[in-house]
Amino acid sequence: MQLSDFDYELPSELIAQFPLANRSSSRLLVVTHADSSSKAIYTNSYFKDITSLLKKGDLLIFNDTQVIPARVYGSKASGGKIELLVERILDEKHILCQIRASKAPQTDSILLLGPAKHPIAAKVVSRQMHEAGSHSDQEPSPFYLVAFPESAFDTLQKIGDLPLPPYIKHQANEKDLLRYQTVYAKHPGAVAAPTAGLHFDTDLLAELTAQGVEMAHITLHVGSGTFTPVRSENLTEHRMHHEKYSIPPQTRAAIDRAIAQKRRIICVGTTSLRAVESAVTMGDNGDTNLFITPGYPFQVADALITNFHLPKSTLLMLVSAFSQPSIIKQAYQHAIQHQYRFFSYGDAMFLERAKGLA
């Protein structure tokens, strides 16, 4: 398949700019397969009614990463304004980041970050070429290794802003600090939220637990590369960004039990799906650049809860692989026709894995 196979036109007014008042009030498009795997049934529902789709013994897998305040403003020592977007915290004092500036900063230069009256002086250690955030598949964009004088995590907590996606046009506010984070977020490190999980509130989780639905967690730190557009029409030329993941022993045991007992495994979000599929060949801890496109032989998940994704994105390719490209195309047209809300703060889908996929 080609890149153009994953394009669609979306009215801009359907891009959700703000979250709804209640997490579980989002709409839910339920996509189930008919007798033929090339046909599907599309049912309009609400996320709170997902309790009717899940049953005792189902295993839900959540991504418990926590979004860090990864956007930092400041200036070069020369006075030029800069903006940093952290890709990941590497160790106690070092980050890998993109830097937006009128002129690229030089190695060993000083960056003055945070409030102008009391800035924190960070140092550009080196300039690196990195696959995440590439502007083309032949020429990855430069990333910078930057050293903070003190703890990178603590520094970001002091001076960083929440890194809302580029299609959300307002500055992050107090409500975003709460709502662009899942209620079960635990391990800091992501620069974008695992958005399918944003629909779950504590009451809904408690109701599912009482219903006998089993829950387990993985951690995959979502990187800025998740927003990188695919530039090459030939998908085999695209270099996928890396994201660090971990599957704890208790989750591995839960997955193995569910498989052995032929119980359904439902991944909450594409990040959870990428983690459990990556673990099949890479083990339970790694740095994955798994690129899932139609034809991929899924090994773990039976169903997927996911938001609506950007045109020509690797995430749209993933859900097309999990269901069927024609079914996803129809689902997106159905969602547009019925005025669903798209992207991070938007509505969700419940997808069954296509019949015949291993």
Quick one: 245 and 107 in the same domain?
A: no
- Choose one of 159, 191, 206: the last residue of a domain: 159
Please list, in sequence order, all residues whose beta carbon lies within 8 angstroms of the beta carbon of residue 239, skipping any fewer than 6 positions away. 131, 134, 137, 140, 289
Q: What's the pLDDT at 229? A: 79
Quick one: 37 and 114 in the same domain?
A: no
Flag whether 358 is in a domain. no
Structure tokens at 56: 């005792």
- Residue 88 belongs to domain spanning: 71-159
Mean pLDDT by groups of 10 residues along the chain of 358 residues: 96 98 98 78 97 98 97 94 94 95 94 95 87 41 91 96 95 96 97 97 98 98 86 92 95 98 98 98 97 96 98 96 95 98 98 76
The length of the chain is: 358
Quick one: 177 and 286 in the same domain?
A: yes
Flag whether 164 is in a domain. no
Structure tokens at 79: 């006075």
Domain count of the chain?
2
In sequence order, which ranges of the chain are alpha helices (DSSP H)?
Answer: 152-159, 174-179, 202-210, 249-260, 270-282, 314-322, 325-337
Quick one: 43 and 124 in the same domain?
A: no
Q: What's the pLDDT at 225? A: 81
Quick one: 85 and 150 in the same domain?
A: yes
- CATH number of the domain residue 268 falls in: 3.40.1780.10
Q: For tokens 């307002």, name the residue.
A: 170
